[in-house]
Structure formats: structure tokens, C-alpha cells
Amino acid sequence: MVGDRRRQERYSVAWPVRLWVRENTFIAGRTVDASIYGARVLLDRLPAGILDLNDVCGLTICPGSPEEFHCIAVVRDLGHHYGVGLEVKDELPIPLGAPRTSTSGAPEDSALLPSAPVRPAVTQQGRITILVVDDESSRRRLLSEYLAFDGSQVVQVHAAVEDIFGAIQEWHPQLVLLDMGLARADALDVLRRIHREEPTIGVIILTGNRELALARLGFELGATDCLFKPFDLDRLGQAVASSIGLVSR
């Protein structure tokens, strides 16, 4: 039965959700993808120790909408940066494909779309391209999935210097998310070189919670914003929108 569930086709959907971790306590988030038997969810926050594998939670999909649906979910995976894999006890009855479009051109299943974009998906010049540079593949993937929700093109890059600047030359991104803890490159040198060679590219640096001196140095070298890990997804969206606004002027 578990094997059959895992083989079910998955769909890229961005439903707003509430994960009820206590009787009167929920954490908001949105789905990355789903099948009729479960979903991967990115939560806005995830306090340490509040969830464990195999915990049983309540799950509300599309809260406050006509399609609102409640079910019981079991935590099957805990990823980095608030990613949670859930198995539901009952089949999800909500349509999982692309939203239907009415004759007026407006989506009928509007509740199945993200409640609001985390940032503008396009500038006056067209679609935004974002480069995500991080040693940790799972974090790169989760950040990329979140940033791609509203139509942006997201490119994941390993942390070698030649890979970073090769991707910049190939994809011409408007924005780079740069982890400052790279193992195979000096992130400050990377930031300095981006600012020198590609001054129109915005750079958001990701650093540890107490590394204030590093954050200040990053701003001096041209960073447009800084996120202290762990950060919530709303803050990421705000940083992206702000940085795109700065480099588009």
C-alpha cells in the first residue's frame, strides 16, 4: 500500500495550508506538490522540537475558501528550511491539476493558487531569473521550489567558483542568493567579484544567526540584503522583492 501511494502522480500546486501541531496551534504555509495521498509543504516557520517524524497533525487546505478541506496527516519527512512531507489518511478530494479557467478567462479554482505572490515575478524587462548558490543540495532545492511559485526562473548552482560565474554568464540572473558558509569558495570573494564584474545583479547573502560582522561586511561589498538563518519564507519574499526593486531602478 505504501509503495502504491508513493507511485501516485504528483502535481505542482501551491495551496495555502494550515498545519495544526496542537489543538489550538497551527503553522501556516503552502504546498510545493501533492498527490491524492499526501503533500510536501513549506511552512512559514518551524520552531525547534515542535514536530517529529510520525507525528499526527491536522491539515487544513485552502483555509477560509469554499474549497476548504480538513484531514489528518502524518509527518513522514522533515527537511531543511521548514520543509515537511505529509501523508494524509484520506484521499485529497480537491482537484490536483491546473486550475480550470472560466469563459471570462479568470481561474475558477482560485483558492488552489497561491494566496499572494511572495514577490514580483517579472520586471519591466521580463521574467526574473534567480541564482541560488548553496553547498547544501536540499536547501537549494527547497529555496528554489519556493521562489519558483510565482513564475520566476530559478537556477541552482554548486558552490565552486567556476560553476557560479559560469551560471551567471549563461543565465544572466537579476538576483543571486549567496550562502556565506560555502566550503569550496570564499563567499566574500564571490560577492566582491559579482559586484565588480556584474554590478547590476542584486545579491542576498545568507548567514548565521549571530554573524553580524559578516553581514556588515557583506553590505560594504555590495549585498542588497541579508537573511540570518533560520529565516521564515515571508522574510525571504520581502528580501527578494526589495532587492529586485533596487537593481531595477
Reported as a single tens digit per residue, the pLDDT across 148-189 is: 876 788 999 987 899 999 999 999 999 999 999 998 889 999
Q: Please state the pTM of the whole predicted model.
A: 0.53
d(CA 164, CA 129): 14
Reference 160, options 130, 183, 140, 179; nearest CA is 183
Contacts of 56 (CB under 8 A, 6+ apart): 72, 73, 74, 75
pLDDT of res. 45:
86
215 membership: H or E segment, kind and range: helix 212-220
pLDDT of res. 67:
74
pLDDT (tens digit per residue) in 69-127: 887 888 988 876 678 999 886 677 655 443 333 333 333 333 333 333 334 444 445 67
d(CA 129, CA 7): 32
**Please, what are the domains in the chain?**
2-98 (2.40.10.220), 122-248 (3.40.50.2300)
